[in-house]
Amino acid sequence: MENKLICAEVIAESGIAFGTSGARGLVEDFTPDVSAAFAIAFIIAIENAFTFDTVAIAIDNRPSSYAIAQACATALKQRDLKVVYYGVIPTPALAYKAIQDGMPCIMVTGSHIPFDRNGLKFYRPDGEITKADEQAILASYASFEALPQYLSELHDNPGAKTAYSQRYLSLFNTDALKGKKIGIYEHSSAGRDIYKALFELLGADVFSLGRSDEFIPIDTEAVSDEDKKRALNWSKEYNFDAILSTDGDGDRPLIADEHGNWLRGDILGLLCSQLLNIEALAIPVSCNTAIELSKSFKQVKRTKIGSPYVIAEFEQLGEQYSSIAGFEANGGYILGSSIDVNGKKLAALPTRDAVLPAILLLAEQEPISKQLTKLPNRFTASDRLQNFAREKSLDLIAELEKDASSFLVKLGYELEYTVDLTDGLRITMENGDIVHLRPSGNAPELRCYAESNSEETAKNLVVATFRIISG
């Protein structure tokens, strides 16, 4: 029993924790035994509810991801489970294929977080794990054998990549995007080898842009000034109808209109939901209030930030409405029910996806900028204060919860206000302006979301808020 390890003990000592979407931590903390502990605890947490003999695994393009996948696969084989390895693919491609095949899966990805970190996302045969599943993983006292020094090589299976592409090719005619000129900002996205071929098969003229051999952590909620300039320059140079990109694991879309302006993720989600005739939505509290003001939906339920909270609302909404969906301010679109698109059935995919909203917007005859003019004039801005300890964020929020008036005076407001504590601290002023502060769930960062009837005001609110906080 000397080489027997206990999952909960190994995980607790690692310092790796669950955030808004998956377990995240420093690469150096994802040792083979820690990765094994998470994989085995995941299987123990769900095995009584499902019948399966195979687990699917895929990775993003981070250099550390393959070794973590090897460790997970080796651990699963200790429990006499077969492993199918789908290589580097987007998270929704893995989830879709695994759901089709009735098996659980593990995605090795740190999504958008910095290069020195990585993570694991877990999916049951019916979709993302719940918050209760997360707690079961952390508390698992299952034992396993310490992993050997040398781990077996994994061999790519192309099945998930093919199935994911076919999901969308089967919905649209081969000329659906005919005449459209699209740039794909590939960087190090896990889906970069899928998108160009997919959009070309739908009739578009596609250009690859910005491919990188080094991993680039793209945050779709806090687009860098450099990437804003890139999109503007590419748009002028190539005269694109749109530019498409995603975060590292391809579940959050980043789309620029024909002028090279990146769309906010929640506005993209709103447009997509309108085009799909969705009846009811579940969205995080941080999303733009234009969603309700559009009067496009029978119900909009606001949740804490994170796809598990959004997905948790689907069961109740599904009892009342035939078409349900959700999305986040970062753009990840979650289809909560099967729906008809172009007279064909599109199966539910209860995890964030980047491809569906991109195709829908581009399949419209109107330019994207024209589609945006039909929405209520509500503008949001967001950014993050990096290397800001979570404890400091919580202390700040507790202070503002008691009385935010002096803070608001520094921002230039002497108005009545209300506070929403659904997730972080969301202050809504009497004139409708909003400032929302929230500690990141998986990094030492403080996020700020602002909303106003003026784009300039929203941007200035974020800048001024961080200036005040930084002192």
103-113: pLDDT as tens digits: 999 999 988 77
For residues 415 and 428, what is the distance between their CA atoms, to the nearest angstrom? 10
- Residue bearing tokens 């503002």: 400
Q: Which residues of the chain have pLDDT under 70?
A: 1-2, 441-442
User: Can you give the pLDDT at residue 440?
Assistant: 79
Q: Which helix (H) or strand (E) holds 94?
A: helix 91-101
The single-letter DSSP state of residue 264 is P
- Residue owning tokens 């099945």: 159
Which residues have a catalytic role annotated? 111
pLDDT at 2: 57
**Which domains, ranges and CATH numbers included, belong to the chain?**
4-158 (3.40.120.10), 170-372 (3.40.120.10), 379-470 (3.30.310.50)
Residue 34: the pLDDT is 98
**Nearest to residue 350, comparing CAs of 300, 305, 299, 315?**
315
What's the pLDDT score for residue 442?
65
Helix 159-169 and helix 355-363, axial crossing angle in degrees, nearest 10? 30
Dist CA 183 CA 172 (whole Å)? 20
The amino acid that residue 298 corresponds to is: K
Give the pLDDT of residue 1: 42
Q: Which among 114, 40, 44, 56 is positioned nearest to 89, based on CA atoms?
A: 56
CA angle 141/147/152 to nearest 5° reads: 130
Q: 107 near 58, Cβ under 8 Å?
A: yes
Model pTM score:
0.91
Tell me the two tokens of residue 426. 């969301």
